[in-house]
Structure 1
Amino acid sequence: MLGAHGVSHMEQTRLAMGLLWDLWYGDIPGWVPTYKNLLAVNEIAEANALVDDDQENGELHFDGESFQLGQERLVKLSDQAVALANAGDYIGARKSIGMALHTLQDFYAHSNWVESLVQKGAANQIYPGLGYPNTMIYPLDNKARTCENCRATTAVFCGDCDDNLKTIGLTSGYYSGEPKFKKISSAKCSHGGPFDGSTTYDLGLIDSVIYVGQGINKDSSTCLLSPHRSLHIRAAQIAIDATKDWVNARIYKRLPQLQSDYLFGKEYKDGSLLDPGAPTLYDLLISSIQPHKRDLMSRATALDHNMHTVAMAENVHEHGKALLRAKVGRNSKLYPVQIIQDGVKERGSEELVDDYGWRETALATGGHLITVPKDEIMEAVALLDTISRPNNNEILSIAVTGPDAKIDPEFVFPIDSSLKSLVVTTSGATSFEILNPNGSPYELASSAAGTEMRRVGNTIALSLNSTTIPPPGLYRISLKAASNYTLSISGESDLSIISFYLAEAGGRPQHRAFFPIQSLPIAGEMPMVKAHVNGNFTDGKFEFRTKEGALIASQDTVHREVDSEEIATMFYGNSSAIPEGDFMAYLTGVNDDGNTFQRAVPMMISSSKLRLTVPIIQRMVVGEQRKVTIGLTNLNSIPDTYEVFAVDSKDSIIEVTRSNIELKPGETGSFDVNFLPRMNSTIGMTEVVIGAKGRATKGNMSLQRFVLEPKSNPILYSRIRYHQYANETEQLIERLMMGMKR
């Protein structure tokens, strides 16, 4: 659905989830939805909207009277979401829920259920049993006449379709391009709209009118896209009720309370790593994590800790590092990745082992490369608990490498009244000092409760709580460092960036929405920026800065949304021209108390001049082979040879058809990636990276996540209690009007 012309799929999902929060948690004194809820619901809502990128499978949209397959899909996805949540794969579960909700909501926009209610004079009713395993819905006979052509009017492209339905029996429109559900007769309904080839248009003027086809969709409130536009709001209202009912009954109530809270964002596991009996750092971190949280990637392990990601680093191929970046998310990731490495050979030795390129990964994700001697293992665990706090917001994120680094640098940062704590972390510096706004040193009460200083290996962390944090103002921090250092200043605050990403349009032409770009942005282009900010402030603006902290551009075209329907403030608009190289996004402004504030998105954004064209991979099924064709366009001014690769976290890739591609300036090429998920693969979320590395110029990568699904099985006949036939819809509505569920 097109949000600009009605209530979109994402809006329906958010509205329904808001009602569910009140139902689930409204009786908890003082509890209100927080940014955690919005993070979880955004994952569900985006997975919902992305279903529109698949226009070949009609059952995803209940098109073409695909009621049996659509019903089986809803049952399968609900079972899958519950299984994934019970296994701790909450991201995979949310994606499964989102995909199911799109299908559920499309039932009301694409079928004539709402029109049948109107014809019988019935109040809003969700279709009984939709998405439940005890019900099967059977379509009308192929020969049944369901629609006739709309009457032409003087409105261009907008015919009078109010009376084009010829049945009260349950039907849905056919949409061109869905091979399993081709329209078999002109007597069947079309989806409708200018992008539907199953309907008929005569673009020649006949008596100053244009002839239109027999569509029935209610996707939007504009006649250009939706022939039954007048029923759009009613269809959306019923879809919201159905979303609320289905999520509550088919997901929430089937899970233990704790898993439900994790799934929908009320709580987050902090995953304490403390295990005194572990003999080594590697074993310590591995042994204290439940098996479903482990992800072994060529002798590197990534795990969640207080919403951060911790990686134990060894010598891993660069493709494994790319996979780690995919695992922690695209440029919407707001929590840094801490890289742990056994970096000192002997106690007291200054000789460091090769970092194997992990420093670059730490820099790219806003974290630190923490090199730790073996006899400081327990100190390293305590350090992680200090720097990886679940509600910390990045205020300043700096990384400097190379011989040109400024010696003993200073950086300015604000402290505002919303901050409840402060954490300063640096790797590579021997010491640091905080300076007051007047330039005098800030005296640390090192012995006072609320002040904690830790030094482990190459890393120093200072933690201040609400009693020891400095008052609001502009402060400076001075480092004793020469080169290869990182600096992070963060603090707990209700004023926080929930999400930030560069976006591109996706979805069916009449359902366009903006989603995070799948690959590195192209230098010089101006993609859409979308962001959500939690908390109260009077003024705010996004900026692009270098990783060293220098201002690149102020994002004057990224505007604040005044009347957002969400619990957070939304920013949107086109960015300034994407700079070449690496950069970061910052939000600066003034809070409600008049204090200057600053927040950083720690994930570094890297630009490219190689355009990758990668189809969005939503789902794959074990045992089923799939080919994905990747396009490359060289936008550089020189020719280059690109080494191409693909890697995924479940070892589903069986072939990349080319190893390298030579491209002249402006030239385009392609290669194929063949997937065949193994039958014994673990079901759930899969991270996949598809990339091309230039020999002379910078390459590009596409980072995606899809759900690996088991083979589909029809609903067992023994589970079906209610057999509902499309030609009995009138009687079904009458029973509902009498207050009977069946």
Structure 2
Amino acid sequence: MTSVLGIAVLALALSELTVAFVPIGGGTSTHISITGTALLQKVTETCQAVAEAAGHEFKPTGSSPEELVQACLGPTATGEVSGAKFHSALQQVYMQNGLVDRDFVNSAPHHFNSEAFLEGRGLIMEGMVAIKANIREENFQAAREMLGRILHTLQDFYSHSNWVELGYTEPYINLIRPDLPLENLADVDTATCRDCASGTCPNSILPNILNEKKLTSGYMGIFSAAKPKGKCSHGGEADLTSAADPRGGINKDERRLDNVALHTAAVNAATAASLQLLEDIRLAAGDNAFLRMMGIARSSVVCFVIDTTGSMSDDIDEARAVVYEIIDSKKGTQDEPSEYILVPFSDPDFGPMIRTTDPDEMKREISNLKARGGGDPPEMCLSGLQLALTGSPAYSHIYVFTDATAKDISLKDTIIALVRSSKSTVSFFMTGVTGRRRRSLRASSFEDYRDLALASGGQAIQVSKRQLPEATDVILDTSTSALVTVLQRARNLGKEETFPFTLDESLKNITIYITGKSITFTLSNPAGVTQSHSETSGKLGTIQTVGNLRRIRLNADMQTGTWKIHIKTNQPYTLKITGQSTITFIYDFVESFKGPHPGYAVLSGRPQGGQPATLMLSVLGRKGPSSINVEDVGLVTVSGPETISNSTTTDMGNGDILVTVESVPEGEFVVFLRGTDKVSNSNFQRQSTTQMSVSKVIIQAVVDSSLEPGKAFNLTFSVMTQGSDGQYSIDARNDKNFPMSFPHNIILTSGEYSNATLTITPPADTPSGTDVTLTMEVKSSNGVDSNYVVLRFSVVTKITDFVPPVCEVVSVLAGDCPRDMSQCGHFQWQLSASLTDGNGTGIESVSLRQGDGTLSYTPLTAPVIMANYTASCCSQIMELVAVDKVGNVGKCYHSIEPSAGPPSLTLSLPLWLCLLASVFVTRL
């Protein structure tokens, strides 16, 4: 169960025959393949349940993310459906799963090594509490990251302990149920293994340990060979204890000739255990929230950041009109936003951030916005934008409305770091900046907004208040599903230049945006047909000019192939070409790490300067990755003279590509991709939107636990530079304004790490599940070089209630149900049950897990909740799910099927003794 990055790195490991991967017996399984198998199965089950509950047919046309998302969204999924967010969510889980082998390589509890069973279960339970709290607060990224980590620990139990050697084939449910004891653990003085001189004995567990069903795990020594007398070792070249008597090891990470059966049993048990954990989270969260956590949602998220000072009444009215138009015109289509976010700001206030999936609630909230106050001071624009960037999902489109410069311009570097981390796009709608009095910490201007927009791949649109309604068509264009960027370029000093770009058959609703002044242009298609800037409605499209924006919407019957746009100006400008298509890609800059289980880790900051850049890139096609052929991936400069850095690529299969760029462009660059769509046999090109650059500063920091309200948390971090020695400044901010302390300067010697500590203290009244984003930047004294790291913390209240609710069936009336099922529709059966939570936090929800009947229950505030269920005799199985206020889940099952016993049979059981559904485990 070697940890690597996604299925892509699985293929890489196979090709390189690394120490951590021995391909014997037709392949093997990794943490990623086990996690992927469980996630895809649970997502499919959940999608099917949601579709059936809504009366929709769930019938995916294939197994690709696009086809699963299309089937999951049902009839509303009309139009283009992108699987990018689902694929991205999977990769976030996979990545955090793999990082456990880097960040906690020597931690016994994280791997259930060295008989650290109680501590390992403690990590799983702490993680499950955090995940459920995060989902309640809709902090889905934090939930995904924690999910990846605890799945790694849970899966390691089956590979690193002797669970399968003891003959067990089912998961150890006690690992995710802290109210159940861990029993029959071998103590530290009990010998557990016999000596294995070869190091690869089929089973070196002592016979008495097997007979007595004693639970043990191998000791692992990365830096020391010491272990208690007679204890099993983990095994492998990286384990120093494996050479100490008793020699050998019991890990089942790899499939070897001597352990094929044990390895397979461990894989199956780990997969089934992963499914159990995912089911518990799903039941606590509910099906819709679980799917949102996994990125199964309509692609578009509408996020507005709006200045509410006195001069902004017209702008607020226009923003309100745009929101209403989006809601009313896109309802019931794939373009209907999956979430609405609103952040107001003024001076000195900003926020709160309002998030909702309910379009009517968004209408109410934006209708309540009023322009207040007078005067013309600069506003807290970037503080509001910071809230939006940390609170909205990755790859969001954020629209900022303001008529003032930013008072909090000191946040500019933080905003750029957050943009790069989230890959979100920010567009500014500026009205009346000129002539406004500035009173900022440093003189800010429209150019600052332009810099931020360009860094994110967005637009900086400057119009009069009267023109604003015409400019907001950009929002309608971009608040859509499956949006892709074909080309984006910027010029600080205009000149006469021609930009070629390729349009493929899959693209729809293609729009060209040019921002700047005194610009002329000519557009030409592959057949040589042209249209100039002065033709508002021509053979190629329609042109709209408002303020500094020119918006060209190509005709629906556009010709595929190589197009050109010839631009002539001596002024700065930006060019952006977008469309709708399911052919897209996601990417991360990564770095390799060594150790017993090497792999790749996503860079939180900028890639290291003076070294090749490495990317992990996933390509998605209309019928999955098999329908795409990638021909070229490179890094390209957006501003100034165009420089394209070519790369070497390794196809890892499943649409995943490892990209190495030996010569990284100087300055800001983006990822550029060309390929062929096999469905239409047409060439395509795509470009990332977020600009990136390299740095010689490196920051390392790991969040190893959740924060607790009212308690200080110390984060140790390390900083190194490959550049000049000297003093570097440190700046850190968090989006919740929690109190922090940290050194503001650090002395660095080139090539050597220096350590420092940051302390953050969430207030005692912080709600459990709050997600905190910390942005830290380290900058050289001359300001020439800098780097950043973006970290997420979860604030979780300490939980002492781990006991699930209890169900007791009071009565079952099923005597009238006929044995002739052809007559079942004319009869009903009834069940009455009591639900209690003992001395716990109280039951929060009761729902029907199985059964087509009607469920009703008395108020949840009562000490004893009476549930009544009525169903047709055709629906013979009933399962209730009760969730308490901290996410403990209980299930109550009853069947009137003849095979299950007499119809009058009743159950009176604690929920944790209810029957478990059998799970069919497949290999990914």
TM-score, normalised with respect to structure 2: 0.66
**In 1, Cα distance between the equivalents of 2:496 and 2:140?**
44
Q: Which residue in 1 is equivalent to 2:490?
A: 399
Q: Which residue in 1 is equivalent to 2:513?
A: 425
Q: Is 1:601–2:688 an aligned residue pair?
A: yes
> Greater relative contact order: 1 or 2 (C-alpha under 8 angstroms, separation 6 or more)?
1
Shift of 1:718: 7.8
Which residues in structure 2 correspond to 1:57-456 (within 5 Å)?
A: 57-117=107-167, 124-132=169-177, 134-138=179-183, 140-143=185-188, 145-153=190-198, 158-160=199-201, 162-166=203-207, 167=209, 168-176=213-221, 185-197=228-240, 199-201=241-243, 213-221=247-255, 231-247=262-278, 249-268=279-298, 270-272=300-302, 279=313, 281=315, 285-286=342-343, 291-292=354-355, 298-301=383-386, 302=388, 304=392, 307-311=396-400, 314-315=405-406, 320-330=411-421, 335-345=424-434, 354-355=445-446, 357-401=448-492, 405-429=493-517, 430=519, 432-442=521-531, 455-456=545-546
Shift of 1:316: 5.6
Which one has the largest radius of gyration?
Answer: 2
Identity %: 21
Once the two structures are superposed, residues 368-420 of structure 1 have per-residue CA deviations (whole angstroms, 9 ceiling, x without a partner) of: 2233444455445442222343311111011222xxx2424321101111212
Once the two structures are superposed, residues 582-615 of structure 1 have per-residue CA deviations (whole angstroms, 9 ceiling, x without a partner) of: 222211123223422111112112012x231413
**In 2, Cα distance between the equivalents of 1:716 and 1:589?**
52
Q: Which residue in 1 is equivalent to 2:92?
A: 43
Which residues in structure 2 correspond to 1:692-703 (within 5 Å)?
A: 692-696=778-782, 698-703=784-789
Contact 1:642 1:695 in 2 (8 A): yes
Q: Which residue in 2 is equivalent to 1:459?
A: 549
Contact 2:731 2:778 in 1 (8 A): yes
Amino acid at match of 1:598: Q
Q: 1:613 to 1:703 in 2, by over 3 A?
A: closer
Once the two structures are superposed, residues 475-533 of structure 1 have per-residue CA deviations (whole angstroms, 9 ceiling, x without a partner) of: 11233543332211111112111x22221124x71222112223322233124321000
Once the two structures are superposed, residues 631-677 of structure 1 have per-residue CA deviations (whole angstroms, 9 ceiling, x without a partner) of: 222336xx6653332223234562232425465xx464635131223
**In 1, Cα distance between the equivalents of 2:720 and 2:486?**
37
Q: 1:45 to 1:538 in 2, by over 3 A?
A: closer
Once the two structures are superposed, residues 703-737 of structure 1 have per-residue CA deviations (whole angstroms, 9 ceiling, x without a partner) of: 2332323254345468799xxxxxxxxxxxxxx9x
**In 1, Cα distance between the equivalents of 2:604 and 2:303?**
33
Q: 1:684 to 1:83 in 2, by over 3 A?
A: same
Amino acid at match of 2:281: I
Q: 1:463 to 1:10 in 2, by over 3 A?
A: farther
**In 1, Cα distance between the equivalents of 2:761 and 2:523?**
53
Uncovered stretches (5+) of structure 1, i.e. residues with no partner: 203-210, 722-735
**In 1, Cα distance between the equivalents of 2:304 and 2:607?**
40
Contact 1:617 1:704 in 2 (8 A): no
Q: 1:662 to 1:266 in 2, by over 3 A?
A: closer
Contact 1:648 1:688 in 2 (8 A): yes
**In 1, Cα distance between the equivalents of 2:150 and 2:552?**
46
Count of residue pairs brought into register by the alignment: 678
Shift of 1:292: 4.7
Q: 1:357 to 1:449 in 2, by over 3 A?
A: same
Q: Which residue in 2 is equivalent to 1:584?
A: 670
Q: 1:292 to 1:12 in 2, by over 3 A?
A: same
Q: Which moved more, 1:231-240 or 1:639-648?
A: 639-648
Q: Is 1:678–2:762 an aligned residue pair?
A: yes
Amino acid at match of 1:580: E
Query: What SS does the aligned partner of 1:687 have?
Result: strand
Amino acid at match of 2:275: K
Contact 1:273 1:381 in 2 (8 A): no
Q: Is 1:505–2:592 an aligned residue pair?
A: yes
**In 2, Cα distance between the equivalents of 1:72 and 1:477?**
60
**In 1, Cα distance between the equivalents of 2:206 and 2:511?**
64
Contact 2:587 2:615 in 1 (8 A): yes
**In 1, Cα distance between the equivalents of 2:539 and 2:528?**
25
**In 2, Cα distance between the equivalents of 1:424 and 1:193?**
57
Amino acid at match of 1:261: L
TM-score, normalised with respect to structure 1: 0.80
Query: What SS does the aligned partner of 1:558 have?
Result: strand
Which residues in structure 2 correspond to 1:487-506 (within 5 Å)?
A: 487-497=575-585, 499-506=586-593
Once the two structures are superposed, residues 523-566 of structure 1 have per-residue CA deviations (whole angstroms, 9 ceiling, x without a partner) of: 331243210001123342101211147243221x21223xx3x4
Contact 2:494 2:568 in 1 (8 A): no
Shift of 1:345: 4.3
**In 2, Cα distance between the equivalents of 1:406 and 1:174?**
65
Shift of 1:449: 14
Amino acid at match of 1:552: I
Q: 1:70 to 1:714 in 2, by over 3 A?
A: farther
Contact 1:454 1:461 in 2 (8 A): yes
Amino acid at match of 2:757: V
Q: Which residue in 1 is equivalent to 2:656?
A: 570
Q: 1:20 to 1:524 in 2, by over 3 A?
A: same
**In 2, Cα distance between the equivalents of 1:128 and 1:449?**
67
Q: 2:716 aligns with which of 609, 624, 628?
A: 628
Amino acid at match of 1:441: T
Q: Is 1:25–2:114 an aligned residue pair?
A: no
**In 2, Cα distance between the equivalents of 1:97 and 1:577?**
36
**In 2, Cα distance between the equivalents of 1:137 and 1:432?**
73
**In 2, Cα distance between the equivalents of 1:35 and 1:528?**
21
Q: 1:280 to 1:674 in 2, by over 3 A?
A: farther
Q: 1:431 to 1:92 in 2, by over 3 A?
A: farther
Contact 2:46 2:291 in 1 (8 A): no
Query: What SS does the aligned partner of 2:293 have?
Result: helix
Q: 1:552 to 1:652 in 2, by over 3 A?
A: same
**In 1, Cα distance between the equivalents of 2:261 and 2:759?**
44
Give me the CA root mean square deviation. 4.0
Amino acid at match of 2:587: F
**In 2, Cα distance between the equivalents of 1:587 and 1:739?**
48
**In 2, Cα distance between the equivalents of 1:83 and 1:140?**
31
**In 1, Cα distance between the equivalents of 2:511 and 2:499?**
15
Query: What SS does the aligned partner of 1:107 have?
Result: helix
**In 2, Cα distance between the equivalents of 1:451 and 1:132?**
62
Contact 1:503 1:530 in 2 (8 A): yes
Which residues in structure 2 correspond to 1:646-661 (within 5 Å)?
A: 646-652=732-738, 654-659=740-745, 661=747
**In 1, Cα distance between the equivalents of 2:530 and 2:479?**
27
Contact 1:219 1:229 in 2 (8 A): no
Q: 1:400 to 1:523 in 2, by over 3 A?
A: same
Q: Which residue in 1 is equivalent to 2:29?
A: 7
Q: Which residue in 2 is equivalent to 1:726?
A: none
Q: Which residue in 1 is equivalent to 2:104?
A: 54
Q: 1:396 to 1:718 in 2, by over 3 A?
A: closer
Q: Which residue in 2 is equivalent to 1:208?
A: none
Q: 1:687 to 1:479 in 2, by over 3 A?
A: farther
